């Protein structure tokens, strides 16, 4: 079990372009395939990981490892998740200054943007709406869409600080829900 956790999160760590939210679907797939957590437990773990300080993918790996195999599982999952980034950053830092203006390098980074954006949108939809047990449009869905829409409008139009929007969304959630 410990080796499986390490190898699984090592693989995820190697493809975690775009940050933690972009790999949540991949983590969910692996957790489901290995039967480490139920769907509800996974959503709870990711929600808790998102509230904790630090990267959500690493926090998720730690919580999933802990729930699946205790403290050693948490350590192995975390090591598997962070080791690829550490190795890649060390190698890239040594090489990047030599190739940073290369056309191919710039193009590849532009090419990764759409898939990263798509994976983040998928995670937002999945956890914001589809993860709920209820089906169809509910007052909770309408309230969530309202908070999301108003927050996005205020962010884009008035360039409000995200911290202010987070606080306002929390208050709106208390009022609406």
Written as six digits, the tokens of 170 are: 């929390």
**8 A C-beta contact, residue 73 and residue 2:** yes
Q: Domain total for the chain?
A: 2
Alpha carbon 82 to its chain's center: 14
| Model confidence pLDDT, tens digit, residues 138-176 | 788 888 889 989 999 999 999 989 899 999 998 998 998
DSSP state of 137: -
Distance between CA atoms of residues 58 and 113, nearest Å: 21
Domain range spanning residue 73?
Answer: 2-131
d(CA 86, CA 145): 38
Q: What angle do CA 89, 91, 92 make, to 5 degrees?
A: 65
Assign 85 a pLDDT band (cuts: 50, 70, 90).
confident
Please give the average per-residue pLDDT across 36-62, as a whole number.
92
Is the distance from CB of 129 to CB of 140 less than 8 angstroms?
A: no
The lowest-confidence range among 59-63, 85-89, 97-101, 132-136 is 132-136
Residues 30 and 113 grouped into a single domain: yes
Residues 154 and 104 in one domain: no
Q: How far apart are CA 25 and CA 15, in angstroms?
A: 12
**Phi, psi at 18, each rounded to 5°:** 90, 5
Residue 18 has pLDDT above 80, yes or no: no
| Whether residues 96 and 147 fall in one domain | no
For residue 131, is pLDDT > 80?
Answer: no
Clarify whether residues 74 and 32 are in a common domain. yes
99 and 14 both lie in a single domain: yes
CB proximity list for 29: less than 8 A, separation 6 or greater:
none
Please tell me the pTM assigned to this model.
Answer: 0.59
């Amino acid at each position: 079990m410990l080796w499986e956790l390490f190898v699984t999160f090592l693989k995820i760590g190697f493809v975690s372009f775009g940050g933690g939210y972009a790999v949540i679907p991949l983590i969910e797939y692996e957790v489901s395939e290995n039967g480490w957590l139920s769907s509800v437990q996974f959503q709870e773990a990711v929600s808790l990981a998102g509230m904790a300080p630090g990267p959500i993918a690493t926090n998720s790996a730690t919580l999933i490892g802990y729930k699946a195999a205790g403290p050693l599982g948490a350590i192995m999952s975390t090591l598997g998740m962070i080791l690829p980034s550490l190795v890649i950053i060390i190698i890239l830092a040594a090489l990047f200054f030599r190739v940073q203006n290369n056309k191919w390098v710039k193009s590849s980074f532009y090419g990764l943007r759409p898939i990263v954006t798509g994976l983040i949108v998928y995670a937002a939809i999945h956890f914001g709406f589809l993860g709920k047990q209820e089906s169809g449009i509910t007052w909770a869905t309408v309230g969530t869409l309202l908070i999301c829409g108003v927050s996005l409008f205020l962010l884009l139009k008035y360039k409000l600080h995200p911290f202010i929007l987070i606080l306002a969304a929390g208050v709106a959630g208390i009022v609406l829900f």
